[in-house]
Structure 1
Amino acid sequence: MSGNEYIKYMTEQITAYIDTPAEEKKLRKSRHKTDPPVYSSKWLGILPFAFKLLLKKTE
């Protein structure tokens, strides 16, 4: 991805976030807080994720 494409993508994301209503932002934030965390990643870091990717790649 070139620099111009990255800047274009980031401006699109920022404007989309700014254009969303405040109620939807609050709802999304509260939903994010209620989602259970993935404990394997939280406790052990990136190693379980890397192991999962390795297993998926070999299948």
Structure 2
Amino acid sequence: MTEQVVTYIDSPSEERKNRRAAQKNDPPIYSNRWLGVLPFALRTIRKKSK
């Protein structure tokens, strides 16, 4: 995690702005938007059990 933070800080500010803009333009996951955190929790539990 520390490595990711350092990489993010070392990247140029223009690249960070572009990355944030790209994340805002991504369509939301509709199961999470309409049903809240429940689908996320079920997916997490299923992944941990495998």
Q: TM-score normalised to the size of structure 1? A: 0.58
Point out where structure 1 has 5 or more consecutive residues left out of the alignment: 1-9, 55-59
Report the count of equivalent residues.
Answer: 45
Deviations 1:19-46 (A, max 9, x none): 1111110110111111110111122123
Q: TM-score normalised to the size of structure 2? A: 0.66
- Structure 1 letter corresponding to 2:19: R
Coordinate RMSD, CA, aligned: 2.1
One of 15, 26, 30 as aligned partner of 2:6: 15
Distance in 1 (CA, whole Å) between partners of 2:29 and 2:11 is: 28
Point out where structure 2 has 5 or more consecutive residues left out of the alignment: none
Give the share of equivalent positions with the same residue, in percent.
Answer: 55
Greater RCO (Cα-Cα under 8 Å, separation 6 or more): 2
Q: Larger C-alpha radius of gyration, 1 or 2?
A: 1
Matched, 1:30 2:21: yes
